[in-house]
Amino acid sequence: MNIKIICVGKLKEKYFKQGIAEYAKRMSKFAKFQIVEVPDEKAPESLSNAEMANVMDKEGQRILDKIKDRDYVYALAIKGKERTSEEFAAEIDKLTTYGHSDIDFVIGGSLGLAPEVLQRADTQISFGKFTLPHQLMRLVLSEQVYRAFMINIGSPYHK
């Protein structure tokens, strides 16, 4: 199984890198785990709607270039479906049982995900209505994917 988090921008904070590395190490017995960073589009602070769409489109194309045709794609979006950890674990288990060995999670840039990325996604997932820094979301997502594996093997980690 291959788990890939595709995200916009570089992760600079050492403490986030260390946390993600820890979950990647723990997940290595279940899946190949990787983070794929695509460059964010440089833009001024205040943008017109057209400029925002242009930035999202450019970042979106970079994201789509990293997704293979057969990959199952989760787009992280505030308007996505919220799941409990148990529901998420059951989804991952079902996907792997039915032949989806490549699962991608997409985290957009500060403006969100381009419509084309949302259309390509097989499902949208939300971690609530809070706005979280994209760097922190990488760590939270890594932990939740690890938790899903632990739930699926019946580990007490989830308790």
Bridge partners of residue 73, in order along the sequence: 104
Task: Compute the distance between CA of residue 61 and CA of residue 117 in angstroms, rounded to an integer.
Answer: 8
Binding-site annotation, residues = 76, 108
Annotated binding residues for S-adenosyl-L-methionine: 76, 108
Torsion, Cα of 63, 152, 23, 114 (10° steps): 20
Q: Are 77 and 107 in contact (CB under 8 A)?
A: no
